[in-house]
Structure 1
């Protein structure tokens, strides 16, 4: 991922004549296009990072992974987007051997971290919705998962750093990966990267989101019509819908890139086609642009992120932050998972809880479920039974204290 495969295949040692000279107007257009990606991606993802870190309510399992996704996207946009364009447009490497190694190494690392952060979110949503009573990831465990993702990314991309070098030719300097077996290694490595960093995680996310989608949109629990139930269902649907759009956007942006390298790897004669440079610049721009769409998606589809963006741009005269927007970022949950004195029941929970209760208590549980109110720990007049007698089995019971649902 980067300019390696394109330029590494065009190494020549004779007199250099650049067949890819572009007219000035094309260079200007491509410069504007790549600069726009850089500006929007870095600025937008930095705002996402600020929204999550500056507001305690936003520090959830899903948002920790979104934070990692924003960091990797902003980093790749900052360190690789313009460098890729300059090298692809001019065919001359100006940045030295150390940055050549980093330039070939970091994109694979960053994309690996991005897509496996999305995969972790998909698995977390699957566990939260399909297996709601099983323990959820804590904040500490989430950070460990993120560190493991980056460690695996470094291992996968290390060969690119190890074999990268520069070569000084009569009229230019090139940055490329000097594979031990020049013919087969580049193509085989890209196949491995495509499987591990594209096909495999997309398959996992496709399966998990299909199951989650069938559960959330396929039907509702009969008889459970409380406002609390429908509110939670709508919230879960919104989060899943947003993440599906993020994943589909990523997949569409990177698909032409992988197709390009598969086709040119199988037919190397295409690398001498005069228009191949424009094709490369197009697919590379589309792939790099994947780093700038997520903040826009969050702002459009998530009310809390939208409130955060309003706060970030509150200095603009046409942006107004309402009291509702402030409440979205500052309010705490009404029913914290770690408080044993307050809990809610759904229809599915009732059958689990009532088996050890008296007829009167079972009637109270059913009445509570139908009205959608909370059952509180209260010994006054013995009207409500003690929380120790009536264990909490709500869908948030196992969620750790330091993590709240998105």
Structure 2
């Protein structure tokens, strides 16, 4: 991003009177306003959009299902990215300086990694949920219960938080790179230096769940296509009530799988540039220009703001829930039992 701006000074420092201060890339007021507007909008959308998703699912009893509880927990992870990561990264990107101290830098890095991996794990469990729902819709309620969803949610939080804290708070991430870390992290900088071994583990932690999701959603859409053809071929025949019910259930599950499949694709598209850049950078001596790194980071961060937009576009119940929440009707005693579905399938 620095290539598109006009530096005001060649060698401004983040801290003018501090030895070892990082060099600051100063922007003119125009680019600064644009960048703060773009990044600030993303942070606000991640916060309030995901907050609406959580309130909708937790408040309205009609939305209490294992899949929706997973979606609400996913929204919580994205909400925390909007609260604890994006605002501070915005200042770091625009000012090219870290003004929040080294301790908070470590905390910020841990939150960044933990919440993003939490989102990935949630999406992986959601893909498993959708696979069972589409391939065996009538048995699905007995297989993926609320308790199973609870275990999935717990794993999606505990594993990333434990992993992130263990890697960054113990200093394991930069084993063997202490000198490079000291030279890169001047006063006013917050750059995580991760060794090749840990970068490889990070990449595999991203690649393996992503591969699982691709395989599952590939099978989901093959099964959905077969089901659609079967329904089309039997459409002219008189269906029994049992067959009709199966058709409605299958149609509903396919529609949910399609929407959540779009969410998974959006996640992969957003995070793939950052994951590939991190892997290449670690093996090439951290040569990625700062503006390229920041672009990759913000592509990934913006994913946390995209999911509520996807739900609003494809879920009529979410649009209706937003109207109820924003209008204040949510405070009525009877609102929790409100019907959010225009048609029951």
Same fold (TM over 0.5): yes
Moved more, 159-168 or 97-106: 159-168
Counterpart check, 1:127 vs 2:132: yes
User: Match for residue 9 of structure 2?
Assistant: none
User: Match for residue 290 of structure 1?
Assistant: 303
Counterpart check, 1:187 vs 2:187: no
Equivalent runs, 1:359-370 vs 2, <5 Å: none
Assess if the C-alpha contact under 8 Å between 2:102 and 2:190 holds in 1.
yes
User: Match for residue 253 of structure 2?
Assistant: 236
SS in structure 2 at match of 1:328: coil
Could you say if the C-alpha distance between residues 169 and 242 of structure 1 is closer, same or farther in structure 2, counting changes exceeding 3 Å? closer
TM-score calculated relative to the size of structure 1: 0.67
User: Match for residue 263 of structure 2?
Assistant: 246
**Which residue, 201, 217, 224 being the options, matches 1:209?**
217
Assess if the C-alpha contact under 8 Å between 1:104 and 1:161 holds in 2.
no
Counterpart check, 1:60 vs 2:85: no
**Which residue, 40, 44, 49 being the options, matches 1:44?**
49
Distance 1:171 1:116 in 2: 34
User: Match for residue 339 of structure 2?
Assistant: 327
Could you say if the C-alpha distance between residues 266 and 312 of structure 1 is closer, same or farther in structure 2, counting changes exceeding 3 Å? same
Cα displacement string for residues 224-245 of structure 1 (whole angstroms, at most 9, x for unaligned residues): 7565444323212210110110
Could you say if the C-alpha distance between residues 174 and 312 of structure 1 is closer, same or farther in structure 2, counting changes exceeding 3 Å? same
Assess if the C-alpha contact under 8 Å between 1:53 and 1:59 holds in 2.
yes
User: Match for residue 327 of structure 2?
Assistant: 314
Assess if the C-alpha contact under 8 Å between 1:52 and 1:58 holds in 2.
yes
Assess if the C-alpha contact under 8 Å between 1:65 and 1:117 holds in 2.
yes
Could you say if the C-alpha distance between residues 277 and 193 of structure 1 is closer, same or farther in structure 2, counting changes exceeding 3 Å? same
Assess if the C-alpha contact under 8 Å between 2:24 and 2:97 holds in 1.
no
Tell me by how many angstroms 1:295 deviates. Answer: 0.8
Could you say if the C-alpha distance between residues 187 and 33 of structure 1 is closer, same or farther in structure 2, counting changes exceeding 3 Å? farther
Assess if the C-alpha contact under 8 Å between 1:55 and 1:329 holds in 2.
no
User: Match for residue 146 of structure 1?
Assistant: 153
User: Match for residue 103 of structure 1?
Assistant: 108
Assess if the C-alpha contact under 8 Å between 1:72 and 1:111 holds in 2.
yes
Assess if the C-alpha contact under 8 Å between 1:42 and 1:75 holds in 2.
yes
Larger-Rg structure: 1
Unaligned runs of 5+ in 1: 1-12, 179-184, 317-324, 335-406
Tell me by how many angstroms 1:18 deviates. Answer: 2.4
Counterpart check, 1:258 vs 2:268: no
Counterpart check, 1:223 vs 2:230: no
TM-score calculated relative to the size of structure 2: 0.77
**Which residue, 154, 161, 175 being the options, matches 2:190?**
175
Tell me by how many angstroms 1:330 deviates. Answer: 10
Moved more, 123-132 or 286-295: 123-132
Question: RMSD in angstroms over aligned alpha carbons?
Answer: 3.3
Assess if the C-alpha contact under 8 Å between 1:44 and 1:292 holds in 2.
yes
Counterpart check, 1:279 vs 2:292: yes
Tell me by how many angstroms 1:85 deviates. Answer: 2.4
Distance 2:41 2:105 in 1: 23
User: Match for residue 159 of structure 1?
Assistant: 167
Assess if the C-alpha contact under 8 Å between 2:46 and 2:78 holds in 1.
yes
Could you say if the C-alpha distance between residues 43 and 97 of structure 1 is closer, same or farther in structure 2, counting changes exceeding 3 Å? same
Cα displacement string for residues 337-394 of structure 1 (whole angstroms, at most 9, x for unaligned residues): xxxxxxxxxxxxxxxxxxxxxxxxxxxxxxxxxxxxxxxxxxxxxxxxxxxxxxxxxx
Cα displacement string for residues 288-315 of structure 1 (whole angstroms, at most 9, x for unaligned residues): 1000111111111112222212212336
Query: Structure 1 or 2: larger helix share?
Result: 2
Unaligned runs of 5+ in 2: 1-17, 175-180, 330-336
Tell me by how many angstroms 1:47 deviates. Answer: 0.4
